[in-house]
């Protein structure tokens, strides 16, 4: 499943390929999709995108031409469409005559030959919502709203979500918006944190970190850079994926890109251990699983690709 970095890179991709491109007509939905129609139609409009954690927003903006007659009919106002990518959602710009097989939502350009910006989703778990907004139950983005993200976690440590193992808490989008399966494995591995350690045990130490008054400010900053805590790593690790640019994780590929495969240190890496968490999700790790590990055999040598 696409995680925070993939949605961020998708927004960058769309803003790049749609820069200066004029779209026209209505938005076309595939017959097999069970999602709602997008009641937007304009003679000329522009498309831009942004992301927040695991949510994605496509913005459709009609072009206002001087001396042109006013637009008539519904759907002529600017319209936002919120996407949740599910297990396999992605966007592609293609020729309209060469639509991908699973292109379930299509936006056509006003050019010859026309192109189409397509939401492609072969598993059909992705969803979109017209004139929607960011889900209020999702927390701040771990990448783009770091200070708010950190504050939201630390002020809610008493929440029952943190009674669970840290590997399960990291998938809770109320607090870790943007973190998925491969990111949680890499984050915990970097800090050598057992995945089934109680989340609150890990996080409580971050509320009141020990301060040594004898240490200079420059030394404190140096130590902080060299010894980031869990919440800092939750920000920096996804940022590393973003820096891979087009070489990051791609759910459409059968194999990882070379750069992304080399970047991975734990997730699906040979020699690592793995177990199912309480939700049936596979967590990859090294060493002791932790005191809250479910009883049962660990999975060995099984290749999986989950969010």
> What gap in Å lies between CA 121 and CA 145, rounded to an integer?
28
Of the residues 54, 57, 164, 198, only one is catalytic, namely: 54
What is the torsional sign of CA 157, 161, 167, 171? negative
Of the residues 2, 5, 140, 251, only one is catalytic, namely: 2
Residues 6+ apart with CB under 8 A from 116: 93, 94, 95, 96, 99, 103, 106, 107, 108, 109
Can you give the length of the chain in residues?
307
Q: Is 2 a catalytic residue?
A: yes
Which residue(s) pair with 119 in the sheet? 91, 105
Q: Is 137 a catalytic residue?
A: no
The answer to whether the CB of 171 falls within 8 A of the CB of 184 is: yes
Of the residues 3, 55, 145, 186, only one is catalytic, namely: 3
Please state whether the peptide bond connecting residue 10 to the residue before it is cis, i.e. omega within 30 degrees of 0: no
Residues 6+ apart with CB under 8 A from 158: none
Burial class (CB in 10 A: 0-12, 13-18, 19+), 22: middle
Helix intervals (H) in 205-282:
217-226, 230-243, 258-263
Q: Is 113 a catalytic residue?
A: no
Distances (CA, A) of 162 to 49, 117, 203: 33, 41, 9
Catalytic residues: 2-3, 54
């Amino acid at each position: 499943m696409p995680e925070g970095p993939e949605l961020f890179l998708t927004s960058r991709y769309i803003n790049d390929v749609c820069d200066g491109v004029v779209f026209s007509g209505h938005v076309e939905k595939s017959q097999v999709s069970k999602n709602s129609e997008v009641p937007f139609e304009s003679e000329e409009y522009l498309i831009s995108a942004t992301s927040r954690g695991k949510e994605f927003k496509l913005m459709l903006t009609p072009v206002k031409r001087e001396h042109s007659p006013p637009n008539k009919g519904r759907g002529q106002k600017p319209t936002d469409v919120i996407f949740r990518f599910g297990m396999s959602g992605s966007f592609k710009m293609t020729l309209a005559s060469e639509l991908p097989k699973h292109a379930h939502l299509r936006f056509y350009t006003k050019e010859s030959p026309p192109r189409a910006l397509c939401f492609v989703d072969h598993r059909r778990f992705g969803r979109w919502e017209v004139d929607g907004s960011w889900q209020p139950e999702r927390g701040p983005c771990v990448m783009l709203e770091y200070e708010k993200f950190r504050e939201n976690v630390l002020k809610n440590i008493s929440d029952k979500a943190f009674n669970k193992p840290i590997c399960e808490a990291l998938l809770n989008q109320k607090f870790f918006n943007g973190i998925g399966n491969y990111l949680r494995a890499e984050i915990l591995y970097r800090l050598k944190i057992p995945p089934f350690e109680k989340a609150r045990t890990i996080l409580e130490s971050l509320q009141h970190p020990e301060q040594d008054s004898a240490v200079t400010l420059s030394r404190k900053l140096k130590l902080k850079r060299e010894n980031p805590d869990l919440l800092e790593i939750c920000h920096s690790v996804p940022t590393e994926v973003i820096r891979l640019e087009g070489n990051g994780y791609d759910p459409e590929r059968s194999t990882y890109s070379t750069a992304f495969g080399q970047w991975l240190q734990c997730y699906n890496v040979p020699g690592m251990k793995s177990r199912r968490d309480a939700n049936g999700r596979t967590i990859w790790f090294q060493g002791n699983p932790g005191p809250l590990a479910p009883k049962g055999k660990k999975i060995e040598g099984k290749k999986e690709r989950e969010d």
